[in-house]
Amino acid sequence: MFDLQFPFRLKKRRSLEISNHMPKMSEQYLEEISQQFQIYGEILHAETCKIGHINETYAATYDQAGAQVRYIHQKVNQNVFKDAVAVMDNLVRVTSHLRKKLIERGEKEFTRKALTVVPTRDGKSFFQNGNGDCWRSFYFIEGAKTFESAQTPQQAFEAGKAFGKFQSLLADLPGKRLHETIPEFHNTRKRFLTLQKAIEEDRCNRAKSAAKEIQFALEHEEIVDVLLNALAKGKVPERITHNDTKFNNVMLDQETGKEMCVVDLDTVMPGLVLYDFGDMVRTTTSPTLEDELDLSRVEMRMPMFESLVKGYLETTRDFLLPAEKSYLVFAGKLITFTIGIRFLTDFLTGDTYFRIHRPGHNLDRCRTQFSLVGSIERQEKAMQKLVNKL
């Protein structure tokens, strides 16, 4: 890969301004990081997009031959993704394929519709510094925004459409299987066994206070093998899935509100499309947050589900098998249940995985998930009838 010499002979540099309370020490650091990538403009300023649990995301503006252009610089948490090479290998293959498919389909603005990885000056997909931090850069997608949660059925429709399109474009990714960057991520049986062990050991003496939730979990054991069995029997195929299909990972066009681009590709892995759809049901159909205390507000809202599934089917029709379609509603229940038992397990074992902000937080989160499972169960027949008609 060709490489220009950098730095250009710079005039006396203005100091880099970084807004949004970016820690002081990071200013100079970000400037240094930016020089590792094949970006040859002059960095003008930068701002924090999001400091999340996993990534730190910054938007930097450059002067490039008189035009102002923006790039994303993102630091990836090494604790979560121990194998950054595998994560980035997946990401490069996926984004390159998305781009190729969009061009083949004659879609305009394809650099706004898929992430574009900017390589480092030595042609790598990410830069790792001395203390193990891993950085990567993308084109900044202009004129699009993410929102924390879907507020309207129209937005649910766009979310379904976006993740469906993502799966569809990747359905024919050539080459070897993607790396399983988080092994056994969706092994629901294993998650259930871990819960059973936590209940038996009851290390923190908390099982008493979660008796109702434990009972609910154990009574639902029969659902945990359903999709695993369908996969083992070849009824549903393994495909490429996103695995973090929250609404805030879809960028919407600022003017039209239509889906533009799916982001946050660290967890893209082989899996069942049903897991992605199930998590969309979990995260878009209830008006409540994951840890809502007022359980009477937790509800699977039919209009949101209807729009979500319509959007999803609009973009998946060309590849989705009837067997996959038949499990869409069930997947919503199963994924919500599975997240619920993960919160319950963490509560019982002393809150070691999910960070808590108050005592009992993981039990509250579990209750919210189980309430949503209950709401889905009460409407399961009607949901299924609706999907069958589409």
Ligand X SMILES: Nc1ncnc2c1ncn2[C@@H]1O[C@H](COP(=O)(O)OP(=O)(O)O)[C@@H](O)[C@H]1O
Positions in the binding site for Mg ion (CB under 5 A): 249, 264
315 binds ligand X, rule: CB under 6 A: no
150 vs 236, beta carbon nearer Mg ion: 150
Cis link prior to 303 (omega < 30° from 0)? no
Which DSSP string corresponds to 197-227? HHHHH-TTS-GGGGHHHHHHHHHTGGGTTHH
264 vs 291, beta carbon nearer ligand X: 264
243 binds ligand X, rule: CB under 6 A: no
Among 264, 276, 292, 306, binds ligand X (CB under 6 A): 264
Q: Least CB distance from residue 366 to Mg ion, whole Å?
A: 23
- Interatomic CA distance for residues 125 and 19, integer angstroms: 27
Q: Least CB distance from residue 57 to ligand X, whole Å?
A: 4
141 binds ligand X, rule: CB under 6 A: yes
Q: Least CB distance from residue 56 to ligand X, whole Å?
A: 7
Among 248, 288, 326, 384, binds ligand X (CB under 6 A): 248
Q: Least CB distance from residue 262 to Mg ion, whole Å?
A: 10
Q: Least CB distance from residue 243 to ligand X, whole Å?
A: 12
Count residues binding ligand X (CB under 6 A).
16
Among 173, 195, 260, 263, binds ligand X (CB under 6 A): 263
207 vs 252, beta carbon nearer ligand X: 252
23 binds ligand X, rule: CB under 6 A: no
* Residue 171 tokens, joined: 């359905």
Residue nearest to Mg ion (CB): 264
- Report how far apart, in Å, the C-alpha atoms of 108 and of each of 101, 103, 112, 159 are: 12, 8, 9, 20
- Is residue 251 within 8 Å of residue 139, measured between CB atoms? no
- Is residue 303 within 8 Å of residue 153, measured between CB atoms? yes
Among 36, 188, 243, 249, binds ligand X (CB under 6 A): 249
Q: Least CB distance from residue 72 to Mg ion, whole Å?
A: 12
- Is residue 348 within 8 Å of residue 199, measured between CB atoms? yes
196 binds ligand X, rule: CB under 6 A: no
CB under 6 A: which stretch of 133-141, 150-158, 188-196, 206-214 binds ligand X? 133-141
* Residue 105 tokens, joined: 């389909």
Q: Least CB distance from residue 16 to ligand X, whole Å?
A: 19
How many C-alpha atoms does 207 have within 13 Å on its Cβ side?
Answer: 14
Q: Which of Mg ion, ligand X, none sits in contact with 141, Cβ below 5 to 8 A by type?
A: ligand X
Beta bridge partners of 62: 43, 69
115 binds ligand X, rule: CB under 6 A: yes
CB under 6 A: which stretch of 18-26, 139-147, 218-226, 332-340 binds ligand X? 139-147
Secondary structure of 35-81 as H, E, C letters:
CCECCCCEEEEEEEEEECCCEEEEEEEEEECCEEEEEEEEEECCCCC
* Residue 302 tokens, joined: 């039919």
- Interatomic CA distance for residues 333 and 282, integer angstroms: 8
110 binds ligand X, rule: CB under 6 A: no
- Is residue 55 within 8 Å of residue 80, measured between CB atoms? no
- Interatomic CA distance for residues 108 and 113, integer angstroms: 9
Residues of this chain that bind ligand X (CB under 6 A)? 49-50, 52, 54-55, 57, 72, 115, 138, 140-141, 146, 248-249, 263-264
